[in-house]
Amino acid sequence: MRPSASGVRVPSAVVALCFAGSSLAAAQHEDRHGLGARAMGLAGAMAARAGSFAALYHGPAGLAPVPGERAALLEASVETFVAHPFVRVESLRGEPLRTAAPARSTFALLFGVRADLSRALGVRGLGAGFSLYQPGDALARWSNHPDDQLQWLHLTDRTHRIGAMAGLGWRPLRWLAVGAAARILFDIETLTVARVTDAEPQTDPTTGESYVDVTAQLGERVRAYGRLAPVLSVLVEPTEGLTLAARYRGSSEVEDWGWTRVEQVPAIGTLGFVHRFSHHVEPDQLTVGVALEPAPRWSLGAEVAWTDWSNGRSAEHRRYPGHFGDTIDPAVGIEWEASAAVAMRAGYRFVRRTFDPFGGPANLLDSDEHALTVGAGVELGAPGGARSGRWSIDVALRVAWLPGDTERKDWRRFASDEELELNPGRDGYRWSGWLASGALGVRARW
C-alpha cells in the first residue's frame, strides 16, 4: 500500500511509544501478533519492511524516512487488538483439567507515532518512533505459580503488562538505513513487613485446633524498575525493489522479587520468605529478512528468526537443562496493492515451542504454533481537501493452530515417591488448541 502517490512502497519510519502487555503471546505480544494491524496482516514478517511505526519492534532502521516520502511527516496511529484462546487441557482419560491461571481473552489499545525529524533537527534522513501498548483492563496483570502447577508457559498473562518502545532510524545513504530502539518493561520489587501488635490464643471451633490469633500492622516498600531491551537493525537496498535486513533483539525479562517478613511473632521472633519470579522472558534473537517485489503491485517479505531459548527459564527462575531449546522460526507475508488506495495482505508464521515435555516435576504447557494471517489497508485520502492530513485504516485477522502434546510422568525424574505422588500432573495429560486474534487501526498523517 502506498502512503503517497510518489511510489513509496511502504509507509515510512516512525516513532512509537508502546506499553507492552498482552495475555496471549509466547514471548512478547508483538512477537507473535506483530506490532499493529499491518504487521499482524503480514504475520510479523516485517524485518525488511520500513515505513510504519511497527518498525520500532520489527526493525528500527525502518524508522528512517523512506526515499520519496513526504518531508516532515508525522503519523499517529490508534489501534485495537483482541485475541481469544480456544485451548484444552485434559487428562489422558479425556477429563478436562484446570490450569493454575486461565488462558484469557485480551483486549488492548496500541498508540503509535512516528515522525521525520530531518527538518526539526537538521539531520537529513532521521526519523523517530514511539509507541504505547495498553491492555484494556489493566496496566498490567500477571500471576506466578510454582512450576509443578499445571499452567501455560506463555499463553496466559505472562506478558500482560505495560511496556514502552522508543527508537531512532537514520538513513545516511539512499540504500542504507540503520536504527536502534529500546523496549521498556518494568520489574517490580515488593518488600513487606508485618509487625505483630497483638496476640490471643484461640481454638478453631470447627477443627478444634488451637492457634494464636495475632494482629499485625503491615508496611510495604514497592519499587518498579525499568528494564531496557535493545532492538538494533540495518536495512540495505542493493537494487530497486529488493531490501535485505538484519536485526538483533536483546533479551527482555520481567521479574518480580522481594521478601515478606513477619516480625515479633510470639515465641518465634521473625519469620518470612523471599520470592523471585521471572514472569516474562524473551531471550536474545537474531533475524535476517528480505523484502522484494516479485511483480508489479506485489511485495513479499520473509524472515527467519533464531531465538536463544536454551537460556530460557521458568517462572520460578528455573532452567530445565535440555528442555528449553533454541528455536528457529520462519515467517512470510505478502502484500498486494489492489488499487492506489487498497492493499490486501496475508502471511504465515511458524513458532517452535520453547519447552518440551520431559516427564519431570514441571507442568508447563507449550506448543508449536502455525499461524495464518490476512489483512487489508485502506487509504482514505484527504477528507478535508488536498491540503489536509490523510487517514488510513488497517485491519487484520490471525488464526493459529496449537497442535499441543502429551505429558507422561517418569518416576525416575522425581526425587522421591512422595514428590511424584504430590505432583498435580502425576497422571499425565495432553493439551492443544487454537488462538484467534484481530486488530484494527486508524492512522492520521500531518
Partner 1 sequence: MRLPAGAALFAVACGSPTPVPPSAVIQITPAAICVDDAHRTPVTFDGSRSVERLAVVPVAGEPVRFSWTLSGASWRLVSGSLQSPSLVVTSAGDRPLHASLLVTAPSGASARAIATLGLTVDGAADAGCAP
Partner 2 sequence: MTRTGAIRVRLVVAATVAWGSAARAQTGVPFGDEPRSAALAGSGLAGPAGLDSVDRNPGALHTLERPVAALWAHGGSLRWWFARRGEPRDTQTRFVGGFGVALVAPWPGDGPLRTVRLGVGLHVPFEHALSVDAPPRDDVPSLALYENRAERMAVTVGGALALLDGAIGLGAAIRFVPSLRTPTRVRYDPGSSERRPRVLIDLERELPVGLAPVVGVAAQPLRALHVGLVYRGRAVMRAEGSNDTRAGGIRLDDPIDFAAFVEPDVLAFGVSWQPVAALRVQADAGWARWSRFVTIHDRRPDPPWRDMIEARAGVEIDIVRSITLRAGLAYEPTPVPPQRRVSNFVDADRLLVTAGAGIGLEALGLGRARLELYGAWLAMATARAHKDLDALPDDDAQTPGRQIRNLGAPAWSGSATAWQAGLGLTLPLGRDPWPADDDEASR
List interacting residues with partner 1 (CB under 8 A): 164, 166, 182, 184, 186-187, 189, 191, 223-230, 250, 255, 257-259, 261, 263, 268-274, 276
Burial class (CB within 10 angstroms; exposed 0-12, middle 13-18, buried 19+) of 215: exposed
Q: Is 342 in the site for partner 2 (CB under 8 A)?
A: no
Q: Could you tell me the three cell numbers for 147? A: 512450576
Cα 289 off chain centre by: 20
b/e sequence 326-335, b meaning 16+ C-beta within 10 Å: ebebebbbbb
Give the CA distances from residue 251 to residues 27, 80, 280, 385, 424, in Å, rounded to whole numbers and listed in that order. Answer: 10, 26, 10, 46, 31
**Which of 356, 357, 359 is closest to 426 using CA atoms?**
359
Q: How far is the CB of 209 from partner 2 (least distance, A)?
A: 5
- Chain centroid to CA 286: 16
- Residue appearing with cell numbers 514502552: 164
| CA-derived radius of gyration, the chain | 25
Site string for partner 2, 229-268 (x = CB under 8 A): ---------------------------x---x-x--xx-x
Of partner 1, partner 2, none, which one sits near residue 122, judging by CB under 5 to 8 A according to partner kind? partner 2
* Smallest distance, partner 2 to C-beta of residue 67, A: 5
> Which is closer to partner 2, CB of 121 or CB of 295?
121
Distance CA 421, CA 424 (A): 8
Helix (H) or strand (E) holding 384: none
CB-wise, 93 or 98, nearer to partner 2?
A: 98
Are 294 and 336 in contact, with CB atoms under 8 Å apart?
no
Closest distance to partner 2 from the beta carbon of 357 (Å): 21
Which residue of 382, 403, 406, 410 would you call a contact of partner 2, by CB under 8 A? Answer: 382
**Least separation in angstroms between CB 268 and partner 2:** 8
Place of cell 537538521: 122
How many residues form the binding site for partner 2 (CB under 8 A)?
101
Looking at the Cβ atoms of 86 and 225, the one nearer to partner 1 is 225
Three-class SS state of 218: strand
Is residue 402 a contact point for partner 2 (CB under 8 A)?
Answer: no
| By CB under 8 A, residue 173 contacts partner 2 | no
The mark string for 67-96 relative to partner 2 (x by CB under 8 A, - otherwise) is xxxxxxxx-x--------------------
Could you tell me how many residues make up the chain?
Answer: 446
Using CB distances below 5 to 8 A depending on partner kind, what does residue 196 bind out of partner 2, partner 1, none? partner 2
CA of 100: how far to CAs of 92, 144, 173, 275, in Å?
18, 9, 53, 18
273 sits near partner 2 (criterion: CB under 8 A): yes
Under a CB-based contact definition with an 8 Å cutoff, are residues 186 and 225 in contact?
yes
Is 17 near partner 2 (CB under 8 A)?
Answer: yes
Rounded Cα–Cα distance for residues 393 and 375 (Å): 11
Q: Which is nearer to partner 2, 44 or 60 (CB)?
A: 60
User: Considering beta carbons, is residue 188 or 334 the nearer one to partner 1?
Assistant: 188
CB of 184 to partner 2, least distance (A): 8
Q: Which does 261 bind (CB under 5 to 8 A by kind): partner 1, partner 2, none?
A: partner 1
- Kindly state whether residue 351 participates in binding partner 2, applying the rule CB under 8 A: no
Q: Considering beta carbons, is residue 316 or 368 the nearer one to partner 2?
A: 316
The entry of partner 1, partner 2, none that residue 182 binds, CB within 5 to 8 Å by partner kind: partner 1
The verdict on 53 binding partner 2 (CB under 8 A) reads: no
Enter the C-alpha cell of residue 129. Answer: 518512533
Phi, psi of 119 (to 5 degrees): -75, -40
Indicate if the alpha-carbon torsion angle 318, 352, 332, 390 is positive or negative: negative
**Chosen residue from 86, 91, 172, 226 binding partner 2 by CB under 8 A:** 226
Amino acid at residue number 314: S
